[in-house]
């Protein structure tokens, strides 16, 4: 899939009612050989700033989950793998924050206050979509992660 195709697929998922984290993770399920259902389930709790608490943007959380699939340590004592994963996550986070202005869902949405506690998802209406920057965040996260994967592929090809 091209980057543009992944972005279009992620945006379509959002319009179908999936949360922002699900949209990012699900469009890379094929790359990791996992089912769409597994991708949707594992990312379900990260939407709307993690469980609708409006904390870290769900699309960024989606990228971080994907970074774990790409590099995550599978041995508890593997400090080198942990450090590498954390480095990649911090690089992805910095790029997202630089492009979007914040990693915080509430700030991106222009909401006040700290942690939110309302668990009821908003109704997906034309007004909802018109007033949300979420599609832009989804596209940004998908593009950033796809470009990251492309850079890994480029590195592999350039190594002797």
pLDDT of residue 154: 94
| DSSP classification of residue 101 | S
What mean pLDDT value characterizes the chain? 95
Q: What is the mean pLDDT of residues 118-131?
A: 91
Could you give the angle at the alpha carbon of 95 between the alpha carbons of 90 and 121, nearest 5°? 85
Model pLDDT for residues 44-86, shown as the tens digit of each residue: 999 999 999 999 999 999 999 999 999 999 999 999 999 999 9
pLDDT value at 107 more than 80: yes
pLDDT digits (tens, 9 = 90+) for 14-46: 999 999 999 999 999 999 999 999 999 999 999
What is the rounded (10 degree) CA torsion for 137, 35, 92, 90?
130
d(CA 125, CA 40): 22
Q: Nearest-CA neighbor of 55 among 26, 64, 30?
A: 64
């Amino acid at each position: 899939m091209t980057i543009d195709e992944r972005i279009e697929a992620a945006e379509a998922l959002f319009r179908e009612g999936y949360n922002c984290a699900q949209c990012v993770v699900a469009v890379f399920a094929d790359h990791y050989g996992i089912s769409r259902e597994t991708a949707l389930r594992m990312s379900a709790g990260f939407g709307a700033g993690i469980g609708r608490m409006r904390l870290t943007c769900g699309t960024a959380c989606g990228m971080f989950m994907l970074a774990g699939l790409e590099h995550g340590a599978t041995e508890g004592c593997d400090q080198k793998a942990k450090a590498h994963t954390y480095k990649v996550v911090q690089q992805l986070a910095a790029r997202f924050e630089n492009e979007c202005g914040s990693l915080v869902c509430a700030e991106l949405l222009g909401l006040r206050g700290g942690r939110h506690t309302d668990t009821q998802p908003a109704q997906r209406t034309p007004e909802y979509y018109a007033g949300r920057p979420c599609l832009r965040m989804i596209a940004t996260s998908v593009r950033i992660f796809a470009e990251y994967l492309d850079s890994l592929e480029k590195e592999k090809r350039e190594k002797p």
